[in-house]
């Protein structure tokens, strides 16, 4: 019969990882069983799954430290990209459209003034 352990117990068994890491491995496919509210891990299957996920670290001396860099060709560009200026133009256009659609602050003042006039005529 398989032995089932909690995330904390599996983390201790593996060593070097936390229970939170073990729980996050559920989304990557570590074998689990849910009993009620508890997620349990079949110890043998979980350890085998973890071992199958190991990647061999490359030998640091076998690969070059960095890739050679290709120098960029000289450019006569002004430095701005076409997409950036198009976005700025769209933002300006949208702001202007919003300004035209919103009532001016002076309109609000005249509304308040008309309200006060009506109140004073009513004698309140």
Separation of alpha carbons 109 and 107, rounded Å = 5
Q: What tokens were used for 11?
A: 């983390």
Distance (Å, whole) CA 101 – CA 80:
31
Span 84-93, pLDDT tens digits: 677 788 888 8
Q: Which residue has the higher pLDDT, 36 or 85?
A: 36
What is the pLDDT at residue 8? 95
44-85 pLDDT, tens digit per residue, is 999 999 889 877 666 666 655 666 556 555 656 555 555 567
Alpha helices in the chain (DSSP H): 7-14, 19-24, 43-52, 82-101, 105-122
Give residue 7's pLDDT: 95
What average pLDDT does range 101-110 have in this prediction? Answer: 59
Determine the pLDDT at residue 76: 62
Span 10-34, average pLDDT: 93
Greatest mean pLDDT among 2-16, 65-79, 104-118 = 2-16
| pTM recorded for the entire structure | 0.45
Average pLDDT, the chain: 77
């Amino acid at each position: 019969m398989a032995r089932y352990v909690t995330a904390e117990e599996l983390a201790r068994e593996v060593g070097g990882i936390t229970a939170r890491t073990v729980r996050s491995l559920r989304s990557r496919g570590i074998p689990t069983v849910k009993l009620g509210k508890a997620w349990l891990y079949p110890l043998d299957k979980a350890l085998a799954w973890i071992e199958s996920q190991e990647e061999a670290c490359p030998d640091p001396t076998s690969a070059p430290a960095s890739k050679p860099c290709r120098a960029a060709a000289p450019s006569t560009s002004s430095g701005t990209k076409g997409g950036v200026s198009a976005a700025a133009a769209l933002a300006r256009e949208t702001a202007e459209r919003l300004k035209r659609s919103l009532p001016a602050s002076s309109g609000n003042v005249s509304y308040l003034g008309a309200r006060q006039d009506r109140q004073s005529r009513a004698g309140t």
